Amino acid sequence: MSADIRILLVEDDDQLGAALSRSLIQAGFEVAWVRGAQDGDLHLRTRTYDALLLDLGLPDGSGLRILRAMRRRDDRTPVIILTARDGIEDRVLGLDEGADDYLVKPFAVPELHSRIRALVRRSAGFAARQWVLGDLVLEPELQAANLKGEPVILSPREFQVLYLLARSAGRVVSRAQLEEGIFDLGEEPESNTIEVHIHRLRRKLGHRRIRTIRGLGYLLESA
């Protein structure tokens, strides 16, 4: 699943930020790293992330300011606070302001990776390694899919599209959200790329499983 998880890291310490970015990328995450509250807020307003790793002590303001602002606008991106503040009152404040998890520096990097994966699974409504959608089963960490007990052979991009639809099963996902989720920043997709992947998924999974909601996007039936 890591390869499909897009992380925003807001950390002003150059040494720690570089080390965390490197470890996350090596673990298969996609990472955007910024050093200030203003840049962090801008990224959250203009791009979609699966999780936010947030330092509290930033040079241009508290990380709590970012957290409050995103929750006020109903941005539900999962947030893990990374901070040296280890007081109970600091933990309580961070969680009460809308953080989902809290790690005190220094921490074990493998634990951070595990917490990110667990948090993203929970935020998508799936607490297990297998996502069961009727007779369709996804295993994000293996990038594998099974339909009626039989493996479905998918290209990496096809699996990414299916993963994004499954994460919002029963709800509409726009074409722009799908493009943003499968292409790197600056990469220009061809105009019909999403349609091609949807067509191939329908051919492999059944044409009625993925609905086109005209003018809005696509919806994967939840069962």
Same-domain pairing of 63 and 99: yes
Which CATH number fits the domain that encloses residue 204? 1.10.10.10
pLDDT score at 126: 55
Domain boundary (123, 155, 188) is at: 123
Which amino acid is present at 11? Answer: E
| Nearest residue to 40 (alpha-carbon basis) of 1, 96, 88, 79 | 79
> Are residues 51 and 78 both part of a single domain?
yes
pTM above 0.85, yes or no: no
Mean pLDDT of the chain, nearest integer? 86
With the CA atoms of 166, 172, 176 and 179 taken in that order, what torsion angle do they form, in degrees rounded to the nearest 10? 20
Return the CATH number at 48. 3.40.50.2300
Residue 205 has pLDDT above 60, yes or no: yes
Q: Give the range of the structural domain holding residue 159, as residue numbers without chain letter.
A: 131-220
pLDDT confidence of 147, banded at 50, 70, 90?
very high
pLDDT of residue 34: 96
pLDDT per residue as tens digits for the range 11-51: 999 999 999 999 999 888 889 999 999 999 999 988 888 89
